[in-house]
């Protein structure tokens, strides 16, 4: 099982030496923590601050860092949005807020944030498509073009994030900051 400190350090593309220098602890301490020792006190706070996370996320980390099955389920539930309007937001949101472990909950928030933006964009495009079609005197129904583009983008994001979750336990496509 991977250690949370190691996972977060690798996610930030840091070496053990860089983590030790940035946090002010010894390299040997970082190695011991990644080998399974539980950090305490100053060490815990310093490493958490350097890795930009809460201290409790570092000590409760074993299965929840590795096990992204819940995040995979949240990602796949966004497919419901292809059938039910806004289902790609509602169902992943429900699953995210019923998730207990913080790692999968954060992944779920990132997934839902992307789906909210997609739903907003497609809503605006669908509402404006008749006006654009009339203004440009187009014969083809423009809303179909927008709908096919939306379905393609949504499928691409879901598939790409699913691959990312399977390969390295993280999302491939995500926002810099989640607004949830």
Query: Which candidate, 39, 50, 43, places its Cα nearest to that of 15?
Result: 50
**DSSP states of 106-121:** HHHHHHHHHHHHHHHH
**For residue 89, how many other CB atoms are within 10 A of its CB?**
22
The CATH code of the domain that includes 30 is 1.10.260.40
110 shares a domain with 77: yes
The H helix count followed by the E strand count for the chain is 10, 0
**CA 23, chain centre distance (Å):** 26
Q: Is the pTM higher than 0.85?
A: no
Q: Tell me the residue range of the domain where 122 lies.
A: 67-168
The tokens for 112 are 């839902």
Please check whether residues 35 and 96 belong to one and the same domain: no
Q: What is the pLDDT of residues 85-134, one digit of tens each?
A: 899 999 999 999 999 888 888 899 999 999 999 999 999 999 999 999 99
Examine the domain organization and report whether 27 and 105 are in the same domain: no
The pLDDT tens digits for 4-57 are 888 888 888 999 999 999 999 999 999 998 888 888 899 999 999 999 988 888
Contacts of 119 (CB under 8 A, 6+ apart): 81, 86, 88, 89
């Amino acid at each position: 099982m991977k250690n949370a400190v190691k996972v977060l350090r690798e996610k930030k593309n840091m070496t053990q030496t860089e983590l030790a220098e940035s946090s002010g602890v010894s390299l040997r301490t970082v190695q011991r923590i990644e080998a399974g020792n539980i950090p305490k006190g100053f060490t815990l706070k310093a490493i958490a601050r350097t890795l930009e996370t809460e201290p409790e996320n570092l000590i409760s980390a074993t299965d929840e860092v590795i096990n992204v099955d819940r995040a995979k389920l949240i990602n796949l539930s966004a497919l419901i949005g292809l059938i039910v309007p806004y289902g790609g937001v509602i169902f992943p949101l429900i699953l995210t807020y019923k998730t207990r472990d913080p790692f999968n909950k954060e992944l779920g928030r990132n997934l839902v944030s992307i789906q909210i933006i997609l739903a907003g964009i497609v809503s605006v495009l669908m509402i404006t498509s008749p006006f654009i079609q009339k203004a440009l005197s187009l014969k083809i129904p423009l809303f179909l073009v927008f709908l096919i583009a939306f379905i393609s983008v949504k499928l691409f994001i879901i598939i790409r994030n699913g691959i990312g979750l399977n390969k390295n336990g993280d999302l491939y496509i995500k926002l810099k900051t989640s607004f949830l």
